[in-house]
Amino acid sequence: MKNSQLKVLLLISTFIGYLEWGTDQSSFIVQSEWEVLKKLPEDPLSLLHPFILLPVAGQLLLLFDIIKKNKGKKLSVIAIVLMSLLYLMILFIGLLDMNFKKILSALPFFILSFVIIRSKNTKTSTDT
Let me know if residue 68 belongs to a domain.
yes
Local confidence band at 125 (pLDDT 50, 70, 90 cut-offs): very low
Of the two residues 99 and 121, the one the predictor is more confident about is 99
The pLDDT score that the predictor gives to residue 41 is 84
What tens digit of pLDDT does each residue of 60-94 get?
999 999 898 776 788 889 999 999 999 999 999 99
d(CA 126, CA 128): 6
Question: Per residue in 23-42, is it b (16+ CB within 10 Å) or e — as a string?
Answer: eeeeeebeebbeebeeeeee
Q: Which domain holds residue 99?
A: 7-15+45-117
In order, the DSSP letters of 43-79 are -GGGGGSHHHHHHHHHHHHHHHHHH-SS--SHHHHHH
Number of domains in the chain: 1
Let me know if residue 38 belongs to a domain.
no
The pLDDT score that the predictor gives to residue 11 is 92
What tens digit of pLDDT does each residue of 29-46 get?
888 888 888 888 888 777
Of the two residues 53 and 87, the one the predictor is more confident about is 87
Local confidence band at 128 (pLDDT 50, 70, 90 cut-offs): very low
Let me know if residue 97 belongs to a domain.
yes
Let me know if residue 40 belongs to a domain.
no
What tens digit of pLDDT does each residue of 89-112 get?
999 999 999 989 999 999 999 999
pTM for this entry = 0.81
* Beta bridge pairs of residue 21: 25
- Residue 122, pLDDT above cutoff 90: no
d(CA 105, CA 125): 33
